[in-house]
Structure 1
């Protein structure tokens, strides 16, 4: 009977952290959509395309600077605690954070110097935008070290199972400040012409206060858990650094390739299709980032618990966590994804007629791929937590090659739709390959009763019902009709969906 307690306890803790993180992710995703709308409406299609290309370059450079520590700074603290080596946690943090600081400063300088070249390549068909594009890239370069350090510091707090700093600082504070500042920049365009560097500054400035507060949060959680009076030997610290980077090194390359999967297509569309198709593609694909936020919200809560279970060889708990979390992910993301397809002609029109005319096929292709990706759960993270970071690297490089090859073949002819096809194919590859590997090497898979129940319920309520009852002019009524059916179905299926984990724990007297 005691064996059964571990999955329940781990699931309840993951549910509490995941629920808070998903709430923050919903706010961050919604704020991101509004920011995208403000930029698209304020700057016009060409400058908006340049803005999205600049932020894509910024995120790619920041991903390289983080050196894969998004995994290492969760995996190793969890492993050290699970194996009784808590006295090495300080050395672990220094091993991970030091190189990030140095490399992020170096890459910021490189991005500053390379800004004119990047602007000429991505805006070659709109010469009048090049100067503003260059200035925007340099504004973002100044904030690159702060972006890399924010993510690394918050990752380290999650290694201590502390989800609150990520939710409060990254999801709520940074997203809220971005929305406020970009919104203010948008309001200013009512009186003056929109400035791409001004919007870049408004978008990046929140990283400054969030970095400072993230450092304070990590310092606080480290001091609260530091074992008193335990000294570490130089040999222990040296061995830990070697083991840390042996594990994290492949993940560093994989994380850059993973970011390239998400961002390089915008740069390729700008370079080979033009800034206007790049803007259309960025707007139409914005919902993908919203779904990825939900994935992060659940996976970041599950990650340290999964690492601890795998570190001690408890595959039963690991599989239970993986399957339960995937069921929750499908329950949250599939209805949203199916509604995104259903309402695509409506919400794209909010950005402008051209976005609606060219963006609907892009949405349909990317949404279909997202259904496959979320149906596999956080399989990429599971493979990494099982210690297979080199496999993870190979998978992501294969998926990136698929993206680049298909983009180069399809973008010149089909524009934004060609990039969508390339990204969709790579997403399928990048999820099915690790799914097979996790099953064969660790005996784990995501297709538990909760996943099956959530998938069938979502398809019935949001994939079939709205289309069956929809009148051509009343899509809202059709979607609203599906909501009570979905809620009732979730209640009836609450046992396989493990929704009881979200109940507050009763206090015992």
Structure 2
């Protein structure tokens, strides 16, 4: 492995560790919240609350307009070009439209709460719950934008503390207080959403500290040109983000509307574990945004390929054991929410979801890579294709098969999305089949230690908590031994070095696209392009050269080929 690739992997491990710890806490909080709601409310009322939360998340994603990805792509590039003042202006260019859209959507949702609740099968009580949750929408959107700006510079600590720990923990605490007082879903939704106001205050303070530490620089283009430059890339990602979160959340709303809030609660409980693995995966992908940006700027194809391969393997190592154990012990997992949640449909849903997520994680951060390479239009198209598949399959399967039909529809949509993603990243970015050698090795280790014992456990039928715990503990021990033996091909040495952070030599640093960054190009690698008001050509195989017209922004020409999205 080259020195450059090793340094980038250490940087990913450092930031990923912070994000992983925060995501692990948030995942536990999410599971705890679901348990509190399912055990504290009747199943019908729990399903109503979960449906409103799903609607809230989808509407917040729409209002966010995809600016998180736009900031991740642009801020380091602007700084690399000496446009420090444009960095601050870009944050404003991103935040103001998102905030205005969020306010407008909030008013619209409150006015149309009745028809929205009726269409989702939530009734009059659902309309009240929607109205109570809606005012927090601008706070949620703006907090996400501000934290995305800090992540664009590779600073994961703010997101981990503000969103993953404080926000998630506060929502669980509020839910515990509300439910202990005997209140219903309306009060629960009000308390859950009000936490976002505190998140906004903390996120604003974190962003202010981050920007004050960045180089000042100068503004090189008019604000209107900067806005055109930013939004020409970002708006397709806003549509893609909607499609992505809709695939993740729309099935809850569809199950509630097509069946009942009771079935919505069953489906939410059965699929809650998916978010646990997704958060761990997301912790790595957030760090990769800034790393991929630097590697594309430096045109370091070797380090790019190695970083993609090894970080995908790390995600597999972290996430596959969770899905393998839960998939094999579905009845034990479902019993956490109450015995009434252990149904045949719920067990099938868990098994389908777990199997599909193995594929999703192993496909790697293909969407992150293409987005940082300027292919936001591809992401949009592919997301819409996946959403269309999911909704159409749900409408066909849910009335006939129940909640298991929603799981099958979701699995089909995710399989389409991942398959297109892997195919597209090979064609557009030039990664080869060898890039999946390390993820395949990691997956084999997880299957040997958790998959095979889990399958034997499942064949026994209706496993009890004792055998499940034994499989998890014994599998973890064997896993640790196996990973020590495979540490070199899986890049675990770099991860261990980053975690140890030896005094004075392995201190964490904020990624920056200047000469002071520790991950410098190898001799002979072209220096970072600087100056001017256009983006440097990312030199992606098959990408058209950068175009400049009318003095406006320049960006790589979008391909007409199918696109991709990641989990």
TM-score by length of 1: 0.94
Q: What is the root-mean-square deviation of aligned Cα atoms in Å?
A: 1.7
CA drift of 1:362 comes to 0.3
Contact 1:269 1:411 in 2 (8 A): yes
> What corresponds to 1:127 in structure 2?
none
Q: 1:261 aligns with which of 247, 266, 271?
A: 247
Cα distance between partner residues in 2 of 1:68 and 1:361: 34
Distance in 2, matches of 1:467 and 1:362, equals 17
For residues 121-166 of structure 1, the C-alpha deviation after alignment (integer angstroms, 9 at most, x for no partner) is 2226xxxxx2321121111101000111111110001112211100
Q: Deviations over 1:353-383 (max 9, x none)?
A: 2311131100011111100000011222112
Q: Kindly provide the CA deviation profile for residues 192-230 of structure 1, in whole angstroms up to 9, marking residues without a partner as x.
A: xx4111110221122111111101111111011132xx4
Q: Which residue of 2 aligns with 1:372?
A: 359
Native 8 Å contact 1:122 1:274 kept in 2: no
Contact 2:240 2:383 in 1 (8 A): yes
Deviation at 1:258, TM superposition (A): 0.8
- 3-state secondary structure, aligned to 2:213: helix
1:430–1:448 CA distance, 2 compared to 1 (3 A):
closer
Deviation at 1:328, TM superposition (A): 0.5
Partner of 1:175: 168
Query: In 2, distance between residues paired with 1:15 and 1:333?
Result: 15
Correspondence for 2:387: 400
More helix by share: 1
Structure 1: distance between partners of 2:35 and 2:172: 11
Give SS of 2:487's match: coil
> Per the alignment, in what secondary structure is the counterpart of residue 225 of structure 1?
coil
Q: CA deviation at 1:445?
A: 5.5
User: What corresponds to 1:96 in structure 2?
Assistant: 94
- Structure-2 change in CA distance of 1:212 and 1:452 (3 Å): same
- Please tell me whether the aligned partners of residues 72 and 289 of structure 2 are also in contact (alpha carbons under 8 angstroms): yes
Change (3 A) 1:410 1:467: closer
The structural deviation recorded for 1:318 is 1.8
Quote the residue 2:368 is aligned against. 381
* 1:223-280: CA deviation from partner (whole Å, max 9, x where unpaired): 11132xx4425x4433221111111011111011111111111111111111111111
- 1:213 to 2:207 alignment: no
CA contact (8 A) 1:82 1:312 kept: no
Superposed displacement of residue 508, structure 1: 6.1
Counterpart for residue 422 of structure 1? 409
Aligned to 2:470: 477
Q: Which residue of 1 aligns with 2:332?
A: 346
In the TM superposition, residue 449 of structure 1 has moved relative to its aligned partner by 4.1
Q: Paired residue for 2:485?
A: 492
Confirm whether residue 273 of structure 1 aligns to residue 259 of structure 2. yes
Equivalent pair of 1:122/1:275 in contact (CA under 8 Å): no
Query: May I ask how many residue pairs the two structures share in their alignment?
Result: 495
- Rounded to whole Å, the distance in 2 between the matches of 1:236 and 1:449 is 47
Report the CA distance shift for 1:468/1:267 in structure 2 as closer, same or farther (over 3 A): closer
Hey, what does 2:193 align to over in structure 1? 204
**Residues 151-170 of structure 1 mapped to structure 2, 5 A cutoff:** 151-170=144-163
CA contact (8 A) 1:467 1:478 kept: no
Listed as ranges, the matches of 1:233-244 within 5 Å are 233=220, 235-244=221-230
